[in-house]
Chains A and B, each alone.
Chain A
Amino acid sequence: MSDNDHRIKKVSIICAKGTIEDVYASLVMGNGAVMEGMEANLFFTFFGLEAVIKNRMDNLHTGVVGNPAMRLPGGMRMPTWMGIIPGMEAMVSGMMKKEMDKLDVPPVSEFIELFVAGGGNLYACKLAADMFKLKKEDLSEHVTGIITVGEFYELAGGEGSQIIFT
């Protein structure tokens, strides 16, 4: 291999937040990596764990309170106070999922299956799992293990490897 080969060969992506957009950012990047023939690890920590908890992974929401980038249908800025209207978060989250489905972006559980089928690996953070009292059986069967930060760094190493925090 030449010294000029600066291609990325492995990515290890950390997902620490549990909103639709944060989780999908990690999944799209991870799945994109395996589709390009790279090795890919996804590491879920803190609220990012929502994406791998069996009975919650397909029910993620987008935050509407304190999200100044939120727009109303038609493009007008959504006044931030509207975020507190009951049902607003569920409605916006439903719309997000509908729009993604139109682009053939799969639900979280299906996306994870595609990622794993492509050779990607999933890990959960031990500290966060302990804190949220989560056990292996609470998590998707595709999660390889609940690991420490040290173990994460170990498997993230190697030539042409990158760590991404979404």
Chain B
Amino acid sequence: MAQKTYAGVTVDVNDEGYFNDPSQWTKEIAAEIAKEEGLSLTDKHYEMLEYLRNKFNSGEQLTIRGINKSGIVDVKTFYQMFPGAPLKKSTKIAGIPKPTSCV
């Protein structure tokens, strides 16, 4: 098991950098992971991270369609907020496992 230190806190992550224990996550940690990914987080980003964490905590699958229905941002904005691989990147910053859905 790998470990990383964000905002002075040591957390357990897997080979790809996803959190093993989502409860270790804080907003300060998120900002540092985001920096690693070349992003600086806005309020909208945090709102989206909260949404993702809530979905994960309630055991729901994360899908791109769900993001569109979240009421936070539309999909186009979501792609702009987390450029590259948006769902993978956002879940990493949100401190939850990599999504397993194909849609």
* Interface residues in chain A, defined as those with a beta carbon under 8 Å from any beta carbon in chain B: 28, 31-32, 34-37, 103-106, 110, 113-114, 117-119
Contacts and interface: CB of A to CB of B under 8 A. Distances in A.
A35 B85 contact: yes
Contacts of B68: 114, 117
Contacts of A114: 64-65, 68, 75
B56 to A, nearest CB: 15
A31 B85 contact: no
B85 A104 contact: no
A35 B87 CA distance: 7
B103 A31 contact: yes
A104 B74 contact: no
Interface string B64-103: 1110100000111001000111111000000000000111
A103 B103 CA distance: 9
Contact of A118 (B63, B75, B88): B75
Tier of interface size on chain B: 10 to 19
A37 B84 contact: yes
B5 interface: no
A36 B85 contact: yes
B65 A106 contact: yes
B61 interface: yes
Given A37-B85, A105-B103, A110 B65 contact: yes
Contact of A104 (B65, B83, B86): B65
A127 B80 CA distance: 36
Contacts of A119: 79
Given A35-B86, A110-B65, A118 B79 contact: yes
Contact of A117 (B76, B102, B103): B76
A36 B71 CA distance: 23
22 contacts: A31-B64, A31-B103, A35-B64, A35-B87, A37-B84, A103-B61, A103-B103, A104-B61, A104-B63, A104-B65, A104-B103, A105-B65, A105-B103, A114-B64, A117-B68, A117-B75, A117-B76, A117-B79, A118-B64, A118-B75, A118-B79, A119-B79
A119 B64 CA distance: 13
A117 B63 contact: no
